[in-house]
């Protein structure tokens, strides 16, 4: 009986908890990410688009990684009338604030020569996304690039909502603080995948991954050069534990120069190929790295000022009625048991059929 009462009070407590409304994240990226996904899938559905882009920018190691099947009827554009979160901010400002770093790699990307008007595959990819968005909505949204010294700071800005999204070239692999990016952030459809390559000096004798592994193990030079930490994390599993990742090289040219000088045994190139390929051996990693745009992950909160929705109201009433029914049932059972013990049952016992009256 006591446990039943506790159960009833528990249900009442639950109904009270459900009564506290939930407020959507004012910086929600849910709608904005749907807009970007709608654009990505429509680009990938255009006949010849991939061939045109990769050929034009000599991005021959770019691979199609299909995480989102193109279908215009299913990848729907969110409405603008009731826009919320970051999508509303973009519409109100007419600007899409995109975070990235200044780097360059051949014709694949050059964010350094003219940061306000970068060139290459990646800048053009984002431009074509925004062109489709403007075409659909009849808007004039412009890309406003915000540069940071490192990709760590880029992801921090995205997570805080200081910017609307990251550039679309970021590795899905990697971390944000102590959490995997794939769990800590909201992600777009995969934009593409790349099989990265190590480059080694032409006279090094290192032409295969096994050669590189052995050379690093035996030393004396164990440094491998990377532009960013995410690149280094993506290939940890195929390098020996005693390698020294040299992170923060400014661009592909810096990587190449340090390989040629012998200060590093190999350099990692995630996009394209060396500017002077005759100076290097190309060592494929065998690892395909998906690329995405990152968005802030929603953080809804409790807020007593928000009006409870009809669905929430119905749930609250249902739970409350269940709790009330249990309380009434407990009260009835308690009364029956108490009166039975006192010899005053509520219901009189039935006559026994074993010894019927003699006059029948």
Q: What is the pLDDT of residues 301-357, one digit of tens each?
A: 765 444 444 455 555 556 556 666 666 776 676 666 666 666 666 655 544 444 544
The yes-or-no verdict on residue 181 having pLDDT over 60 is yes
pLDDT on residue 360: 41
Q: Are 132 and 126 in contact (CB under 8 A)?
A: no
Q: Are 326 and 53 in contact (CB under 8 A)?
A: no
Query: How far apart (Å, rounded) are the C-alpha atoms in residues 111 and 115?
Result: 5
Query: How far apart (Å, rounded) are the C-alpha atoms in residues 240 and 53?
Result: 36
Model confidence pLDDT, tens digit, residues 228-251: 887 888 889 999 999 999 998 877
Q: How far is CA 36 from CA 133, 135, 142, 165, 253, in A?
A: 8, 13, 14, 10, 32
pLDDT on residue 307: 44
Query: How far apart (Å, rounded) are the C-alpha atoms in residues 207 and 209?
Result: 7
Query: How far apart (Å, rounded) are the C-alpha atoms in residues 56 and 215?
Result: 37
Query: How far apart (Å, rounded) are the C-alpha atoms in residues 309 and 7?
Result: 27
Listed in sequence order, the residues at least 6 apart from 321 whose beta carbon sits closer than 8 Å to its beta carbon are none
- The yes/no answer on whether domain 24-194+291-302 falls in CATH 3.40.190.10 is yes
Model confidence pLDDT, tens digit, residues 36-93: 999 999 999 999 999 999 999 988 889 999 899 999 999 999 999 999 999 999 999 9
Q: What average pLDDT does the segment 127-142 reach?
A: 98
The yes-or-no verdict on residue 296 having pLDDT over 80 is yes
pLDDT on residue 180: 93
Other C-beta atoms lying within 10 Å of the C-beta of residue 180: 12
Model confidence pLDDT, tens digit, residues 194-223: 888 999 999 999 999 999 999 999 999 999
Lowest mean pLDDT across 11-25, 121-135, 241-255, 274-288: 11-25
Q: Where in the chain is the domain with CATH 3.40.190.10?
A: 24-194+291-302, 195-289
The yes-or-no verdict on residue 133 having pLDDT over 80 is yes
Label residue 358 by pLDDT band (50, 70, 90).
very low
195-289: what fold? D-Maltodextrin-Binding Protein; domain 2 (3.40.190)
Residue 249 DSSP code:
-
pLDDT on residue 308: 43
Residue 190 DSSP code:
-
Model confidence pLDDT, tens digit, residues 103-115: 988 889 999 999 9
- What tokens does 77 get? 């554009």
Three-state DSSP class for residue 76: coil
pLDDT on residue 352: 47
The yes-or-no verdict on residue 17 having pLDDT over 80 is no
- What tokens does 133 get? 């968005």
Query: How far apart (Å, rounded) are the C-alpha atoms in residues 38 and 46?
Result: 13
Lowest mean pLDDT across 47-51, 70-74, 166-170, 286-290: 286-290
Three-state DSSP class for residue 247: strand
């Amino acid at each position: 009986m006591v446990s039943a009462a506790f159960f009833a009070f528990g249900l009442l407590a639950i109904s009270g908890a459900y009564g506290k409304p939930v407020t959507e994240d004012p910086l929600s990226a849910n709608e904005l990410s749907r807009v970007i996904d709608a654009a990505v899938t429509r680009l990938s559905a255009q006949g010849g688009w991939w061939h045109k882009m990769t050929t034009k920018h000599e991005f021959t190691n770019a691979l199609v990684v299909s995480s989102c099947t193109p279908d215009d009827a299913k990848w729907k554009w969110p409405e603008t009338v009731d826009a919320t979160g970051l999508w509303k901010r973009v519409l109100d400002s007419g600007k899409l604030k995109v975070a990235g770093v200044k780097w360059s790699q051949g014709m694949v990307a050059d964010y350094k020569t003219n940061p306000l008007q970068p060139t290459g595959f990646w800048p053009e990819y984002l431009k074509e996304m925004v062109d489709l968005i403007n075409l659909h909505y009849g808007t004039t949204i412009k890309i406003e690039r915000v540069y940071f010294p490192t990709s760590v700071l880029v992801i921090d800005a995205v997570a805080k909502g200081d910017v609307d999204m990251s550039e679309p070239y970021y590795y899905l692999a990697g971390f944000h603080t102590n959490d995997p990016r794939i769990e800590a952030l909201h992600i777009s459809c995969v934009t593409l995948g790349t099989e990265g390559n190590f480059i080694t000096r032409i006279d090094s004798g290192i032409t295969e991954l096994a050669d590189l592994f052995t050379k690093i193990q035996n030393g004396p030079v164990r440094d491998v050069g990377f532009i960013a930490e995410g690149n280094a994390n993506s290939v940890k599993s195929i390098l020996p534990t005693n390698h020294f990742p040299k992170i923060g090289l400014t661009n592909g040219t810096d990587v190449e120069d340090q390989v040629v000088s012998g200060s590093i045994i190999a350099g990692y190139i995630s996009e394209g190929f060396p500017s002077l390929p005759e100076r290097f051996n190309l060592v494929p990693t065998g690892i395909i790295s998906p690329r995405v745009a990152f968005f802030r992950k929603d953080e809804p909160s409790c807020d007593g000022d928000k009006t409870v929705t009809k669905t929430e109201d119905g749930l609250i009433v249902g739970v409350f009625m269940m709790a009330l029914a249990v309380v009434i049932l407990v009260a009835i059972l308690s009364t029956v048991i108490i009166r039975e013990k006192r010899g005053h049952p509520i219901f009189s016992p039935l006559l026994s059929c074993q010894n019927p009256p003699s006059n029948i």
